[in-house]
Each structure stands twice: as structure tokens, then as C-alpha cells.
Structure 1
Amino acid sequence: MPQAPAAHTRETATMAVPASRPLTVLIGTDTYPPDVNGAACFTTRLAHGLGDRGTRVHVLCQSDSGPPVVREQNGVTVHRLRSVPSLAHQSLRLAVPLGGRGHLDRLLARVRPDVIHIQNHFIVGRLLLAAARRHGVPVVATNHFMPENLFNHLRVPDPLRLGVGSYAWRDLFRVLGQVQHVTTPTRIAARLLVDGGFTRPVEALSCGIDLGRFQPVGAPEDRSRVRARFGLPDRPSTLFVGRLDEEKRIEDLVRALADITVPDCQLLLVGVGARRQRLTRLAEECGVDERVHFLGFVSDEELPLVYHAADVFAIAGTAELQSIATLEAMASGLPVVAADAMALPHLVTTGGNGYLYAPGDHVELAKYLSELLGSPALAAAMGAKSRQAATRHDHQASLDRFEEIYRTVADREGPAPA
């Protein structure tokens, strides 16, 4: 695995903000639960994890219903800006920037954050960055974005994607160039920024996983009980958790199901998205519609149980900067079959905790799924290695590092010049 250049690693400066004084952190994001995606998931776990440690946490995000509102949620103060539906993505809403300057000035004057942490470089991130400059508050940014995330939602034609992608990178770099510290979930994600021409230091810092919440299933009969709880047949099962959108390439999983040699195996799809109807039609065309189960949205409370219903986890997406769902599956003791693309090879080792297959090759995908579904002993051995690998992503360690970053940048003078 190539390492990020040494010139792009950041040494931790001496901390001068007393560790005994609770930090006040304002997190800004354009997507937050009930949105279901990796950035929203990471942001809420970061906010709640920091809050559990005594940090005073405020979150600024878009309203999930339209009107602005402020709510206390599990010790985190969530400030929701007025929003409108997104024309590009049916399940997301966009914050309305009109009047945002005055609102944020009042918010920062009242909250007095030690540091601002932005999760996106779009509407909320830009509003907060401008407000931070006016109030002299340092800013940390975590990048979850790559241009490929936009292409499908905006329906960018193939001939235009190179130009649109190039502009999107430059736009991202303009925003990230104004903050004090940049993180991204993996070394591969950091290299993307460096290779794209970003000249500032970038730190690879895992989103992390709660190893206490996501644990391996106890016994085979426990798996059968969980399947019954979700109304599923007690059959060998492959699981995918995530948005049912184009960039996830779930069609590969449906096509592979028809070629798996293990009788009566089934595919469990957890999540919502624009491709639901198309996937339903594809399952009918492939003759596997009775073995494809759409579980829809699963609450955060029940999410750990979903992984206990499966024997193997599969992910076909080629635009994953880390994949929190894959980390959850690994922590739950599942072997993983993943597309050999982007950051997934950072999590999956062929012959170790699962297999990597050529993206789009549903025949190779079916071969590996057949091996694991047909051999419970092999699946259990690889699942144990998954759990072991997941321990390197303990979210407590990620929280430790974020707190160090916050205290370090909070001791520096105001935001870097544009």
C-alpha cells in the first residue's frame, strides 16, 4: 500500500490549551441524520463521542423538515438551518444560505467555540468558514468528498466528467486551503488530494468504529433468531448496508446472486435510495427476486443486529474513501468481499479477512461469495481476522486524536489567510 508523502504528514504541536478545560466544538455539515450516508454517520458519531467525553458540542446542519429549529439530542445541541429539497438527490435537503451571515455571527458570539470542524465544503461549510474568519476561530476540515460522488447525482455526461471533476477538485482545494488542519479517512484518500495538486498537509485519520456496539454474533442459532426478527428466511445470506444509489453498483450484487453455487442463498439490502425500483426489476430479470430482500431503513439502535443476520458482507462501490459499513461488518466478525477499488483494499486482504474482486466482474464476485457461503468454517476464520483488523480503527483512538487536533489549533492564532 503506497504511503502518503512524508511532506504531507503533520507533526502534533505542543498543546497549550489546558486539557482540564472542556472544549467547545462547533461541527458543520451539509448532511446529518436522518440522512443515511457515510458522512452523516461519521458526523453524528463524532459529535456524540465527543459529548460523552465532556466536550461541549454544537452541530450546524440543514433542517430535516424545512423550518429552522434547535434541538438537544443526546447531549449535543443541533442547530438546523432552513432548508429546501435537493433537485439532485431525492433523499437530501439543502440549507438555505439567505440570511446565514447574521445568523452565524449571532451563533458564534453566543456559543464561542474553541474550534470549528467542517465536514463538507458546500453550503454549511462555506458559511461557517466565512464566519470563522470574521470571528477569529480556527477551523479543522475532514474531507469525505470526491468528484465521482457528484457525477451520478447531477447526471454529468461521460464526455464532461473530466472537466467537471477537475473543476470540483480546484473548488475543494480553495476551501481546504483556508483551514488550519485537514483530515481524511484513509491514506488512499489523502493521496487523492495530494495527487490532485493539494499542497497543504493532510492527515489520514480513520472515521473509527465502536467496537462495543458492533461485535460478532454469539452462536449459529443466534443468527437464525435475528433473521426471524427481521422476517427473513433462515438461509445463507450476503449483506449490503448503504444507500441504494448508482455509485454503490448494487446491480453487481444482484447479478452475482444468480451465479452463486450455494443453493437457496439470499441477498439482504439495507438502506434506501433512488435505485430501489431498478434493482427490483433486475432481480426479476435475473430470476432471483424471491431471494433479494429489501430491508429499507434500519434504525441506529437495530443496526448492529443486521450484521448478525448475515454470513458475509459484500460491497461493490468504486468511490469509497473508507466505508463505515465495511468497518461495521468487520467489527461484527463478517468476512468481506469487496471491489478492488479506492480505499476498500485498505480494509480487505484477499485470503485474509475476505476477497477483492475486479470491479464490475459479477462472475468473480459470485465465485468468492460461493466459497464463503459454502464453507462456514472458512467464513468464521476470515470473519475473526476481520474483527482483529477492525480493532485498529477503534473510534476511541480517533476521538483521542481529534481532541489533540482541536486543542492544538485552538492555541494558534486565527484562521490562515485565504
Structure 2
Amino acid sequence: MSSPSHDDGPAPAPLDDPGDPAATPPDRPLKVLIAGDTFPPDVNGAANFTERLAVGLAGRGHDVHVVAPAATRRHGTFVEEHGDQSITVHRLNSTRWPLHDWLRFATPWTVQHNTRPIVDSFAPDVVHIQSHIVIGRGLTKVARDRGIRVIATNHFMPDNLMEHTPPMPRKLLDWIARRAWKDAANTYQHAEAVTTPTRKAAGYLEAATSVRGVLAISCGIDASDYTARRTRPKDNRIVFVGRVTAEKNIDVLLRAMLKLPADLHATLTIVGGGDLLAKLTQMSVDLGLGDRVTFAGYLSDEELRHTLTTGTVFCMPSTAELQSIATLEAMASGLPVVLADAMALPHLVDEGVNGHLFTPGDADDLAAKLTDVLTASDDEYLAMRAASLRMIEPHDIGRTLDTFEKLYRGQTVAAQAADASFPADQATGGAGR
């Protein structure tokens, strides 16, 4: 059994170097403007992190505003309840992307015009963009013109975007991916610091662009929100949480269900919604899994936590994860994990200790790894649960907030070099993989 790798670890510890002599005093509350192309009620990793960051910073006494696309045609400035905080959210006029069931984008050529009065009225100490695609690009230019510090976090992968494009030749998809990365670099070069959730993701970004010195800062979760059972569940219930879309490779998980030993009586609960929900629901019926697979749809936070607490093992077959908050939540609930050996997921597995990695797309290998967890002795199984709980500790949201506060104030944060072992040829293309 290998020891946990620290190469893909969470946020580096901040240094004591004050950095920029013009840095904001460490005892003064900050005015932080966070911007992203997705925000709740959207359900995805970037939206969830943006909300968690805003709520955490507000809870520490900072004045936090968010700029995001309107979730409907109703746009303007609103005070919204997120978590236990009231957050001022500036909802920009938006248009629904026709190839997606809910995604809406702010109108690109209006972003600068619409965000200038927001910036001038709020006068933030720092602008933290969560995406370069639309709002982040325009707002970075507005902030730069006013001499306001910009921090950028990259949640983008071409695979996430390409699944919502019309069918087209692979060469054209790869060209679009390269253009998308170039566009990202054009925005990120104006940021004082660029971050992404893991070192693997940092290596991916550096290999695909001219951006260097990318910092790995875990998105973080509040582990105290989740509850782990002390005993082994009586049922063998596999849990998946995430968007029901092509990049998640849920079809591989369904095929693996057919290959599990019948005497395990294993079931699968799929939490989430997306454009493939109807197709995969029908696929489960066609495979004869109708009585063993439950498509739970979107759940409330309380329902989700209960589902994780009562699960037996968590599975993430996706090949396009820059961190996987869902996996962190499962580990905080004490679940062993079986994850695809792709992108940033390997940093959440100590092979054979808290779970397993499987060959992406290989239903036989996935079934074998799930079977290994489900047939483990009670002592071995409980040891895997304990290992997941230990491994989640460095991903505490408090550490994440501490590090971003340092960056916001212009203080130096220890740099982590990009993972040199990450294949550059996988980063430069990526479309359709």
C-alpha cells in the first residue's frame, strides 16, 4: 500500500512575508467582489465553491458582494440568503445557452458596461474571479483600469464546455480547446495570483497556457457539516453525487453494476440532475437495473448528507474533475471511495487504504474495485472509513479562507510548482476526452 501523495495536496501554508508593501492591513475587514459565470441556484462545483467562499468570508466579518448571471430574466441587485449569511448579489442580464438545460451566460459585450457602476459604488479592495469566460474577463479589465487587485481561480476544463457544443470533427474541437486556453491566459495574465484546487489542476493549467506560478488551494469543505456512521451499513449501497452529464461517465458505473456479484445485492443511488437524466434512466431499465438503481435528482443539503451518511461506498467515474467537492463530502461522511484514475481524483485516494482508483472507462475494473470494498472484512472496511476521515482534514474550509485572505491583502503565499509529471499533450487538447 502506498502512502498518501502530498504532491496534489491542498492549500500551501501561507508564509510570514508581508509581500506587497501596499498590502491591506491584516486587521481591517476587506471589501471583496467575487465574480463567476455560475452561482446558486446553479448546481455544480464552481457555483458551490463560490457560494461557500462568499459565505465563509462574510462570516469572518468581510463585506462580500457577488457578480453572477441572472438565474432567470429578472436581473438587478438583490440581498440573497446563502448559508447563514445575507449576501449582496449583482445579477447581470443573461441568456440561456440553448444546448444546456439550465446554463445562462451574461451578455459578453455588456459586462464591462454593467460592472463599472458596481465596482465604482462598492469600491472593493480585491476582485476574485472564478472564471475567465464572460464575467471574469470583463470585470478584470474594469478592475485593472482602477488599480484594484485581481485574484483568479480556474475551474475551467475544455471537456466541461465541449459536451454542450454541436457535433463537430475532433480537430475542430481541439482547435476550440486551444483557443479557449489562450483566452484564459489573456485574462489570467492580469491577475496578481492564479489559483486552482489541486496541484494536478495547476499542472494542467500551466501545461495548457503561458500562465506560471499557479497556486494549489483546496476548495475546502466544512467537515463538521457531515456525519460518519460508527458501524458498517447493513446494505451495500453505492452513491454517486454530481451532474448527470457526459463528462461524469455514469454509463460506465451502470455497466459495472451488471458485473458485481449477485449475492452482494448492491444498489446504486445517483444524486443530481442534468441533460442525460432521461437517457441514463432508460439505460438502467434496458440493462435490467431498474430495481437496483435510484435516480434521486437534486436533494436538499439535509437529504444529501443523510444519503452520504447511510451509503456504503462512493464512486466518481468522471475524467474531468479539478478537485471533486462531491468526493470530499463523501470522505467527510466516512465513505471509502472508488474513483477514476484521471485528472485530480488520484490525490483523494491512498490506494487500498481509503479506497481504490480504477482505469477510466473500464467497467470491469470498476466492478472489481467496488467488489473489493464491498467484500472487505468489517475491520478492513471500518479502517477505510477512518482513513477517509483522516485524509479530509487538510481540506478544511478554514485553511482555504485563511489563504485567500492572505492573497486578498497582497501578502505572499508559498508557491507550489506545477506537477511536472502531468502529460502536456493531455492538457493542450482535452476536447472530447
Q: TM-score, normalised by structure 1?
A: 0.89
| 2:143 equivalent to 1:132 | yes
Deviates further, 126-135 or 192-201: 192-201
1:320 aligned counterpart, secondary structure: coil
In structure 2, relative to structure 1, the CA distance for the partners of 1:330 and 1:344 (3 Å cut) is same
* Counterpart pick for 1:391 among 390, 393, 412: 393
Higher RCO, 1 or 2 (CA under 8 Å, sep at least 6)? 2
Superposition deviation, residue 70 in structure 1: 2.2
1:327 aligned counterpart, secondary structure: helix
* Counterpart pick for 2:115 among 104, 111, 115: 104
Structure-2 residue corresponding to 1:205:
217
Matches for 1:6-405 after TM superposition, within 5 Å: 13-14=17-18, 16-72=23-79, 73=81, 74-97=85-108, 99-155=110-166, 156-219=168-231, 235-261=235-261, 262-375=263-376, 377=378, 378-405=380-407
Superposition deviation, residue 171 in structure 1: 1.3
Deviates further, 41-50 or 365-374: 365-374
Contact conserved, 1:138 with 1:409, CA < 8 A, in 2? no
In structure 2, relative to structure 1, the CA distance for the partners of 1:249 and 1:3 (3 Å cut) is same
Structure-2 residue corresponding to 1:229:
none
For 1:2 and 1:374, locate their aligned partners in 2 and report how far apart those are by CA, in whole Å.
29
Once the two structures are superposed, residues 105-140 of structure 1 have per-residue CA deviations (whole angstroms, 9 ceiling, x without a partner) of: 211111110000000111111121121022221100
Q: How many residues align?
A: 395
Once the two structures are superposed, residues 242-263 of structure 1 have per-residue CA deviations (whole angstroms, 9 ceiling, x without a partner) of: 0000000000111111111143
Gaps of 5+ in 1: 224-233, 411-418
For 2:182 and 2:16, locate their aligned partners in 1 and report how far apart those are by CA, in whole Å.
27
Once the two structures are superposed, residues 290-317 of structure 1 have per-residue CA deviations (whole angstroms, 9 ceiling, x without a partner) of: 1110110012343322211310000101
State the Cα RMSD in Å. 2.2
For 2:264 and 2:24, locate their aligned partners in 1 and report how far apart those are by CA, in whole Å.
61
In structure 2, relative to structure 1, the CA distance for the partners of 1:353 and 1:140 (3 Å cut) is same
Contact conserved, 2:35 with 2:135, CA < 8 A, in 1? yes
Deviates further, 340-349 or 11-20: 11-20
Q: Which amino acid aligns with 2:75?
A: P
Contact conserved, 1:185 with 1:205, CA < 8 A, in 2? yes
For 1:293 and 1:96, locate their aligned partners in 2 and report how far apart those are by CA, in whole Å.
38
For 1:329 and 1:219, locate their aligned partners in 2 and report how far apart those are by CA, in whole Å.
16
Deviates further, 279-288 or 296-305: 296-305
Once the two structures are superposed, residues 182-238 of structure 1 have per-residue CA deviations (whole angstroms, 9 ceiling, x without a partner) of: 001000011112222424321011111111102312445xx6xxxxxxxxxx73100
Superposition deviation, residue 264 in structure 1: 2.2
Once the two structures are superposed, residues 268-301 of structure 1 have per-residue CA deviations (whole angstroms, 9 ceiling, x without a partner) of: 0000001111111211222111111011001234
Superposition deviation, residue 165 in structure 1: 1.9
Contact conserved, 1:88 with 1:153, CA < 8 A, in 2? yes
Contact conserved, 1:237 with 1:373, CA < 8 A, in 2? no
Gaps of 5+ in 2: 413-433
1:212 aligned counterpart, secondary structure: helix
Structure-2 residue corresponding to 1:413:
none
Contact conserved, 1:333 with 1:384, CA < 8 A, in 2? yes
Q: Which amino acid aligns with 1:168?
A: A
Superposition deviation, residue 101 in structure 1: 3.0
For 1:285 and 1:351, locate their aligned partners in 2 and report how far apart those are by CA, in whole Å.
33
1:302 aligned counterpart, secondary structure: helix
In structure 2, relative to structure 1, the CA distance for the partners of 1:39 and 1:196 (3 Å cut) is same
In structure 2, relative to structure 1, the CA distance for the partners of 1:406 and 1:191 (3 Å cut) is same
For 2:223 and 2:35, locate their aligned partners in 1 and report how far apart those are by CA, in whole Å.
26
In structure 2, relative to structure 1, the CA distance for the partners of 1:197 and 1:64 (3 Å cut) is closer
For 2:188 and 2:92, locate their aligned partners in 1 and report how far apart those are by CA, in whole Å.
23
Superposition deviation, residue 371 in structure 1: 2.1
- Identity, in percent, stands at 43
Contact conserved, 2:14 with 2:403, CA < 8 A, in 1? no
Contact conserved, 1:177 with 1:200, CA < 8 A, in 2? no
Superposition deviation, residue 2 in structure 1: 9.1
Once the two structures are superposed, residues 344-365 of structure 1 have per-residue CA deviations (whole angstroms, 9 ceiling, x without a partner) of: 1111122111000111111111
